[in-house]
Every structure is written in C-alpha cells, then in structure tokens.
Amino acid sequence: MQFKDLSGVRIGAFCLLYVFIHVFCTVDANGQNVVSVQQKEEMADTLASAVVTAKAAPSPTRQSAPLQVMQQKDFAALGVKELHEAVKTFSGVQIKDYGGIGGVKTVSVRSLGTQHTAISYDGVTVSNAQSGQVDIGRFNLENVEMITLSIGQVEDIFQTARMYASAGVLNIRTTRPQFNGSNTNIGASMRVASFGTYNPAAYWQQKLGKKWVVAVNADWLKSDGEYPYTLKNGSTSTREKRFNSDVNTIRAEANLYGSLRSGGELTFKGNWMSSQRGLPGSVIYYNQDARERLWDEAGFVQGQYSKRLSDKMELKGQLKYNYAWNKYMDEDESYHGGVRTDYFTQKEIYGSISAKYTPATHLGIVLSQDIFRNTLDASYVNFVYPERFTSLTALAARYDNGRINATASLLSTYITEELRSGAAAPDRFRLSPSVSVSYKPFAGKNLRIRASWQDIFRTPTFNDLYYERVGNSALKPEKAGQVNVGITYREAFEGVLDEISLQADAFYNKVEDKIVALPTLFVWRMYNVGEVEIEGADINLGASFSFGAGTRVKVQGNYSYQKAIDITDPKGKNYKHQIPYTPLHSGNVTVSILNRWANLGYVMSVTGDRYALSQNIRSNLMPGYMEHSVSVGKEFGIHGSGDRNFSWGIQVECQNITDEQYDVIQYYPMPGRSLRVTLKFEM
C-alpha cells in the first residue's frame, strides 16, 4: 500500500503519540501551577492518604438515554458469581450461550446483534477484529465493582472515541482498593459446584508509600462439565449426560494506581487468560460425538493517565496492547490425516487521547481521538494476513442544568486495510451523529421525559471479509439507526417503603445492509442483503423496603417486548418473520433480603418462544422457559489484634431449582439443577 493511503492515519497517530508523551513528560514540571484548591483538597482526602476512592454509580433515572446499573453489593445479595448471570438480569438483552461451564457467552442488545455491542473494561473497549464478538466469560466477576449497560448515546461524554462507535456499551468497572487502618488487604475464596467444578481465587492489595497502590488477583476454574439433561424425541424422553464439556481456565490481573506530584492520576493494568476447553457440539438424535477442542491465550496491558489542567480543562490519555491466540482442533475422518488444526493470532495497538472543556457551569465539550492497528494471522494455506488501520474522532457536548439534560455527539470513522495478497476492502469513511435529551417537567418531582436518536454502523469483521472462500471483501458496513422515547421516575419515602424507581422506554431500530451468509453453488458467501426492523419496549421497575431488626428488601422487575422482523425481501418465505433466537417477550424478577441473620436472594428469568431459523414455522419453534435460582449467605466479622480485622463468609446457591430443561441455542442443552458453595476469607 502506498504511503498516501495511510497518511491520514499516520499523521493522526503521530499527533496522538506526541501529545500523550508531551503531557506525560511535562506534567511534573508545569502542572503545579494549574492545580486548584479543590484539587488539592481532593488529593489530600484520597491518594495523599493512600486511599483510592471509587467513582459514584450513575443514576439510571437521570439519564437521557437508557442505562441499567448493577453493583458489587447486588452481586453478593443475589448470589451472582459469573458476569453473564448479572448481565442477563438487564432488560433488552439476549445472552447467547452454547451451554456448559466453559461455553462461549456473548451479548446482544435489542436484537441488533453481538457485533453492535461494545464491551468496555475500565474505560477501554475489548476488541475482536476477527469475529467482532467478545466472550464475556473471560472476565472474573469477583474483581468487578460495577457493570452498566447503556443503549445509544453515552451519557458520560468524557470517554474514548471508541465508546461512541457502538449501539450499546456494556461497561465493566473493576474494584479499586480501599484500606481501613492497614497497608495490606488480602483475601481468598474457594467455590465448589456441581459437575466437578472447582474455582479457587485470591487477591492481594498493598500500599506503596503514600501515593501508589498495587493490586493483584487471580483465579483458576476447572470443571469436567458432564451435566445430565433430558433428551426428548417425539413422545419419548431419555436421561443423557453432556460430554466433551470440560474447561480448565486461569485468569489473572495486576493493577498499579498512582498519583503524580502535579495532581495527575496514572493507572497501569495487565490482564491475562489461558483456557483449554472441549466444545460439546449439538445433540441431534442421540448423536453427541463431539471431538472439537479449543485453546485460548488472551491478554492485554494498558496505561491510563488523567489530569485536571485547570477548573475548565481536563485531559485523559490511554495506550493499550492487546494479544489473542487460539487453537482449534477437530478429530474428523473427513479431514486429511483425520484431524484439522487451525491457529489464529490477533494483535492490536491502540492509543486514545481526550480533552474536556467546561466553558460554563452547565456545559461540557469533549474532543477524543483514537488510533489503532489490528492484524490477524492464521494457519490457512494462502491466508491473506489482513492489516487494518482505524482512526476515530468524536466531538461531544453535554448540557445539564438540573431540569434539562441534553447530549449530542458526532463520530468520524476512517478505516483502511492492506493484505499480503489479493484485493483488500476499500477505504471506509463515515460520520455518525447521535443526540439525546431529557426534561424534568416538575421541579419537586423526580419525573423525567427522555428521547434519543443514534445513527451508527459496524465494520465488517476479518472473518466477514477474508475467511477462506466465504469472505467477501466488497462488503459494506452494516448500518443501524435507533430511536428511543421514554419516562423515568424515582422517589424516596419515609416509612416501610424506602424508594421506588421506574424506567419505561419504547424504541424503534432499523438495520440496513445487514451482513448475512448465503449459499452459492459450492460454498457459503457473505453478502449485504439483510434488512431488519425492530420495535419494542423495555420496562424496569424497582422498589426497596425497610423493616424492623435491620431487615431490608429490594425488588427489581424487568420486562422486554421485541418485535424484530426480517424485511429484506417481500417475496421471501421469511418476510416479516421474527429473526432467529429473539423472543417476543422476556423478563426477570430479582429479590434480595438483607438482615442480621442471613442474606437471601432470588432470581427468576423468563424467556418466551423463539425460532431457531429464519422461517417462523413449527419445526423451527423453540419453546420458552422459566428459570429460578435462590441463594443464602452470611458474613462473619472477627476483630483481630490492633487495627487488623478479619472476615469470612459462606454462600450457597441453587440454580435452576425446578430443573427446567431448555436450550438457549438449539440442540445445545443447558444444565439443569445445580448447587454452588462459596467460602470467602478477607483481612
């Protein structure tokens, strides 16, 4: 590729790197003059005393676009131990789960597809240029402080440009250390569950002087995954066992938090996951001869720097290197030698810098620039080895005076690619606007009316473009537009009823140039022929109660209606049929009871009928299901010598207590009733 083809990206990358290094290197020399009195007081209360304070959780009922929040205390109260268990309690979400302890789990929001949902980990998007799908099972929930799901316009505009590039964002925020009278925190837990599952975990947190803190955590998950299930064939049913569903995974993370002398904050993070698992495959007519295996090695290192330059100006910069390797093996006599083995390696270099300017009390303006490079290597003969350069620029503004909250953004995307051989996809440039507004009509009531609109797209993945004989390098980006209108309400009371909250939204989405696989004479090919229309509603209702003896009850109910129909071809057999795996109705109810004797949790998830294929005919129908889970837990505190305190706790959960037999993906049976016990110790 000629230099002129990459000139815009390279100039942007050089500017980004120069600004980041310049600010980082000169911060100690020049930053002292612009630190306000308020900053000094905040520093004295936080890192100067070696305490890293957590960022407050956003209020869903104040947002101009739909937002759902779940915090660490909610995980504990409901007995949630895996990230996908927490995410599926949100409305408008479909978790694609292929079954088993180590099954791949991806997130789709409002039927737009998993590639339209970004997964953000501590403010930096987790990428997968090969497939566009991120397995959220790779993250350890024990280290998570809070998760949020935003749909449409990102409310916190002081973000990377990449955060504006998706229709929905699942933001995972990890726990920052808090110290109480000691310079060291340590903890360990042991989880034992059904189907031969063991999951030990440990963490260590340490003050390094007055301004630096280090935190390390790791866990090991091992399971044979051989759970029983009921196989129905007509009027008969038999009890079978799932095979080749074992998993062996190690996850580890290290963090370093610090405060520079000038008032800036610096964070370094390293995350690693190593996994080997069996792929159990589908079960059809008693045949579950699965011999596929998958090995994964994935990790990243990232650094973040943030600083308030003045009362009106803030700066944030990020650098990241991401690496992912996997090996797929299938023992099948149809292959030469009886075994097929494929290797894939992804690499990404990413940089971002954002500046926030506050010209007035109620107004904030942010400019963000991201530059990143993605590559993919594979073991295929004649593989093209794609290399992608991407430049994202986001300009956003937010106005909030307490009654009116309005946010607008414009994202500029430029992508160029090159191959070792063959014709690469053409350069792509697109502007994506977004706007949202909420209004509080009554000064004394926490009632808000909101509306939002977003025009967004998703770039074809490397698999879409270049997968052997299937990819199509002429693919256009898949475009999506979404409109949302709704109301929010929140009120606190004195008495038994503490608080009630409500979010009710109606939405309309339309996906154009949808990328689908179509059969040709000999092989399948990717084409832009799909068009999907989605209309629906999400309702979230919550209430909390306080009773005597320190008892508190929290109830949350969510309901989703999603009519997602294929409108590609009026003459097609599936015209205006519901798209696969999207239920018309779904919802869940969670109840947590906190008291001095024990904490009780209950989760009920309901999923309506779905269709496994595009045609809504009886043979493709997948019946709905209802799943119930309960938990009970208790924590005990022990006062040690000096200021050192110890605590330990036990929690017991029973999942799918009615032993409901169901599939999330057709022919991939999910586990039935299971038991899980966790012991935890902290000091």
Of 164-173, 281-290, 517-526, 539-548, which range is least confident? 517-526
Average pLDDT over residues 288-299: 87
Whether the predicted pLDDT of 199 surpasses 90: yes
The pLDDT value given to residue 52? 41
The pLDDT value given to residue 615? 92
The pLDDT value given to residue 41? 34
The pLDDT value given to residue 236? 78
DSSP string covering 393-408, please?
A: EEEEEEEE-SSEEEEE
Q: What is the pLDDT of residues 206-234, one digit of tens each?
A: 999 889 999 999 999 999 988 988 877 77
The pLDDT value given to residue 444? 85
Whether the predicted pLDDT of 30 surpasses 80: no
Q: Assign 239 a pLDDT band (cuts: 50, 70, 90).
A: confident
* Of 644, 473, 659, 501, nearest in space to 62 by CA: 501
CA 310-315-321 angle, 5° bins:
160
The pLDDT value given to residue 28? 38
The pLDDT value given to residue 19? 40
Q: What is the pLDDT of residues 451-469, one digit of tens each?
A: 999 999 999 999 999 988 7
The pLDDT value given to residue 26? 40
The pLDDT value given to residue 333? 66
What is the b/e burial string over 582-613, where b = at least 16 CB atoms within 10 angstroms of the residue's CB?
A: bbeebbbbbbbbbeeeebbbbbbbbbbebbeb
The pLDDT value given to residue 55? 63
Q: What is the pLDDT of residues 623-634, one digit of tens each?
A: 999 999 999 999
Whether the predicted pLDDT of 12 surpasses 50: no
Q: Assign 237 a pLDDT band (cuts: 50, 70, 90).
A: confident
Return the higher-pLDDT residue of 4 and 375: 375
Percent of the chain with pLDDT over 70: 88
Q: What is the pLDDT of residues 477-510, one digit of tens each?
A: 999 999 999 999 999 998 899 999 999 999 999 9
Q: What is the pLDDT of residues 118-169, one digit of tens each?
A: 999 999 999 899 999 898 988 989 889 999 999 987 778 999 999 999 999 9
Strand partners, 407: 398, 436
Average pLDDT over residues 520-536: 81
Distance CA 236, CA 330 (A): 32
Whether the predicted pLDDT of 620 surpasses 60: yes
Tracing tokens 């009921």 back to the chain, one arrives at 230
Distance CA 498, CA 547 (A): 10
Whether the predicted pLDDT of 48 surpasses 60: no
Q: Assign 99 a pLDDT band (cuts: 50, 70, 90).
A: low
The pLDDT value given to residue 284? 74
User: Is residue 459 within 8 Å of 477, Cβ to Cβ?
Assistant: yes
**Residue 653: how many other CB atoms lie within 10 Å:** 24
Q: Assign 577 a pLDDT band (cuts: 50, 70, 90).
A: very high
The pLDDT value given to residue 517? 79
Of 169-173, 348-352, 414-418, 548-552, which range is least confident? 548-552
Domains of the chain, earliest start first: 3-682 (2.40.170.20)
Amino acid at 602: Y
Pairing status of strand 117-121 against strand 168-174: parallel
Of 20-29, 165-174, 326-335, which range is least confident? 20-29
Q: What is the pLDDT of residues 37-46, one digit of tens each?
A: 333 333 333 3
Distance CA 376, CA 345 (A): 6
Phi, psi (degrees; rounded to nearest 5) at 295: -115, 135
User: Is residue 572 within 8 Å of 616, Cβ to Cβ?
Assistant: no
Q: What is the pLDDT of residues 393-405, one digit of tens each?
A: 999 999 999 899 9
Tracing tokens 């049976």 back to the chain, one arrives at 669
**Average per-residue pLDDT for the chain:** 87
The pLDDT value given to residue 100? 66
Average pLDDT over residues 548-563: 93
Distance CA 168, CA 68 (A): 11
Of 244-253, 368-377, 524-533, which range is least confident? 524-533
Whether the predicted pLDDT of 603 surpasses 60: yes
Strands (E) across 31-128 are located at 67-71, 93-97, 105-109, 117-121, 124-126
